[in-house]
Amino acid sequence: MSHPQLASIFNKDEKKVNWHDKALWFVRHKRDMSVHHVQGWEELRNLGHGIKAHMLSNLDAYLEEFEANAKKNGVEVHWATNAEEHNQIVHKILKENNAKKVVKSKSMLTEECHLNPYLEADGIEVVDTDLGERIVQLAKEPPSHIVLPAIHKNKHEVDELFQEHLGTKPCDGDPQYLTGEARKHLRQKFIEADAAITGVNFAIAETGGFVVCTNEGNADMGAHIAPIHIACMGVEKIIPKLEHLGVFLRLLARSATGQPVTTYSSHFKKPKADKKMHIVIVDNGRSEQLSRPDFRASLHCIRCGACMNTCPIYRRSGGHSYDATIPGPIGSILSPGKDLSKHSSLPFASTLCGSCSDVCPVKIDIHAQLYKWRQIITKNTPQPFIKKKSMQMMGNIFAKPKKFEKIGKIARWSLRNLPKSLINSKPNAWGKARDLPEGPKQSFDEWYNERKQNKNS
């Protein structure tokens, strides 16, 4: 289904949409309050952008440097060209170690690769340990936001889910109680786990180490208890030097939730003597995206989710309407590069207002890329008849000032005089669930000329 179709399903529950909209706008507001206190914030964003751009222009060398250093640290490094190979590698490591129970902290990459069903098919239990991810896992749904995976669920739904799966008491959705119960339930999973899988926020070429950021402490509870730690990363997670963490850790949490930094920023480098550490480096379409000059900056993304929180479309259509691992504005410029026809409606899920680009901590020109994808998609995928025809008509009108003036006059008159039943009739998409403004008497041109004349006289 296309984005508009899925969005209209989400929009059936108006109260929920309003809550979703306000909750995310509040997170955006917290981001603002936090970043406005940082002296040199814009300079910090420039640095984030510059370091990532430099990294991409030398990515092969940095990957080799990272691998060499990680190996020196006693870490095993694996390479996967695609999702399938990634899943096979992780599966093989687990098999070799006879691991049956796995705890996993948040990793959008393993979502992208659909690792869980792959492992579950072989009888391996995979438990997502981030609270939001556990909630959507129990509900058998994908996350709807990269930082707030269960933002589309209300507390009563969580209450019911936990009663069913964790045997909790009805609590009218008390978040304190539910979180406490989840802590107990997942504590048991941590203690019993044979292996832990985590994502990677930043991988440092110069040290061969990597950093994982969480607020809950779930990545560390998994990685330090289980005998095996597997960290999965996309190739673009590399940063050249340790000192660059100073830039990215200052940007990440403030942009994501408005916190000055995440509760835990864990720096993994060498495994303990009695433990094993693996890193799986995954391409899965990233090197392809690197070849596109207009879109390669999308690989700068540090997954803070700020573009989702600020997006007027995302807030009102929900993450699931994007039908992609990464939803929202950033997802809409990443996904078409993977499958143009499946994701062809996503770059249109935007007003091109540019707010996403304004809040992006690494200054990705998201809205400009959305526009560029539209040009490619319109050429390469079949467009609806009405849209095609109306675009041709509009193009014709805009190209001829005399005609534009005449039709403008008729349109303004129609808006003032025709009945609403006609104006808001079906072919007019702009009249769907929305009243059009009353047509002004003057066009802008007329108003402007009149003003000029009055000034002169």
Partner 1 sequence: MGSRAEILAKIKANKPESLELPNIDPLIFDEGLNLVEEFTKKVEVVGGNVREIKSNVDVISHVKTFFPDSKVNFSTLEKTTDFNTLDLASIKSPQDLEDLDVLILESDLAVAENGAVWVADSQLPFRVLPFITKHLVLVVSKKHIVPYMHQAYQKLNNAPTDFGVFISGPSKTADIEQSLVIGAHGALSLTVFLKS
Count of residues of this chain found to bind partner 1 when the rule CB under 8 A is applied: 91
Q: Which is nearer to partner 1, 291 or 417 (CB)?
A: 291
Q: Which is nearer to partner 1, 48 or 328 (CB)?
A: 48
Q: Name the minimum Å distance from CB 254 to partner 1.
A: 9
Query: Does 259 sit near partner 1 (CB under 8 A)?
Result: yes
Q: Which is nearer to partner 1, 210 or 348 (CB)?
A: 210
Site for partner 1 in 266-285 (CB under 8 A): 266-270, 272, 281, 283
Site for partner 1 in 404-443 (CB under 8 A): none
- For 24, the token pair is 């995310």
Query: Are the C-beta atoms of 1 and 323 separated by less than 8 Å?
Result: yes
Which range in 246-254, 368-376, 385-393, 395-403 contacts partner 1 by CB under 8 A?
246-254
Site for partner 1 in 126-155 (CB under 8 A): 129-132, 135, 148-151, 153-155
Q: Which is nearer to partner 1, 157 or 446 (CB)?
A: 157
Q: Distance (Å, rounded) from C-alpha 109 to C-alpha 326?
A: 10
* DSSP labels, 8-58: HHHTT-HHHHHHHHHHHHHHHHHHHHHHTTSTTHHHHHHHHHHHHHHHHHT
Q: Distance (Å, rounded) from C-alpha 325 to C-alpha 308?
A: 13
Measured from the Cβ of residue 188, the count of other Cβ atoms closer than 10 Å reads 10
Query: Does 366 sit near partner 1 (CB under 8 A)?
Result: no
Site for partner 1 in 77-136 (CB under 8 A): 79-81, 85, 129-132, 135
Q: Name the minimum Å distance from CB 151 to partner 1.
A: 7
Q: Which is nearer to partner 1, 305 or 345 (CB)?
A: 305
- Give the list of residues 6+ apart from residue 210 with CB closer than 8 angstroms, or none: 200, 201, 202, 203, 204, 231, 233, 237, 267, 268, 269, 279
Query: Does 218 sit near partner 1 (CB under 8 A)?
Result: yes
Q: Name the minimum Å distance from CB 65 to partner 1.
A: 12
Q: Distance (Å, rounded) from C-alpha 358 to C-alpha 374?
A: 20
Residue 166, classified by CB atoms within 10 Å of its CB into exposed (0-12), middle (13-18) or buried (19+), is middle
Q: Name the minimum Å distance from CB 375 to partner 1.
A: 21
- For 215, the token pair is 């607020």
